[in-house]
Chain A
Amino acid sequence: MTNNRSKGFANPWLVLGFEVICVLVYELLQKRGASATAHLSQAWSWIGITALASPLTWLAMGLMIVSLLSWLYVLRYIPLSIAFPLSRVVDIVVPLSCWMILGEDISTRRWCGIALVIVGLILMAKPAAQLEEKL
């Protein structure tokens, strides 16, 4: 952590949001790339080797590097116990995106889980806001 307040695009909270978007996109690309190449080898596909045959997987890896660099920046300013849970907003965005883009189903229980994650994020908002005042 540091006491230097970062403004504009260097604001660690903004970078955290950017990182979440990168994770969302690369997860979707990973799924598309891995599914499209699973038929190449049943055994090797379980450890991700066949997925490397898809350009979508490589695009996902590029985005993964961008998200990693963003995450490293976030970690320099925000405690892991706050930054990481907040970054998990992606856990509800991914199923929602799968529902909207990939056509996967979301059951009632899954909707309840999504609601609980939102409650958890709201609970964490106050400690995050207090940290923002210190940054």
Chain B
Amino acid sequence: MSWQVFVLIPVALIAFVTGQLCLKRGMESSAAKGVRDKKVLAFLGCGIFSMTINFLITLGLLAHLDLSFVYPFQGLSVIIISLAAAVVLREKLNLRLTLGALGISVGIVLVSLS
């Protein structure tokens, strides 16, 4: 396995998590301010930009690796996004939700290790 895999997979993951947080913050703000508000557009733009980077890097990885290997790595973002939503977006995260997110993440890691 080449060095590109070890560099590009984390970069894709960071871009994905950042994108999701920006999109959520943007859509939350849009409920009160409407989608044409500058702050809303900035968050949505940043989210879409991050997701585009993730898309291009994912395409690059898919050109060389099996989809069933590449794709589950994004599943690691489940626990990261759940924790980030609690910290950054101040969403309530109870034990059951945390365990559920952790189970999904561990399951996806097992899938990706196969």
Contact = CB atoms under 8 A, between A and B. Distances in A.
Interface of A: 1-2, 27-28, 30-31, 33-35, 37-38, 45-51, 57, 61, 64, 68, 71-72, 75-76, 79-82, 84-85, 88, 91-92, 94-95, 98-99, 102, 104, 106-107, 109-110, 112-124, 126-127
Interface string B78-94: 10011001100101111
A81 B72 CA distance: 18
B91 A117 contact: no
B1 interface: no
A113 to B, nearest CB: 3
A64 B81 CA distance: 20
Contact of B62 (A1, A31, A75, A122): A31
A50 to B, nearest CB: 7
Interface residues of B, number: 59
17 contacts: A72-B23, A75-B23, A81-B82, A81-B92, A95-B111, A98-B67, A102-B67, A109-B110, A110-B68, A110-B114, A113-B107, A113-B111, A114-B107, A119-B103, A120-B107, A123-B96, A126-B96
B31 A2 contact: yes
Contacts, number: 198
Contacts of B62: 30-31, 34-35, 51
Contact of A85 (B8, B55, B63, B104): B104
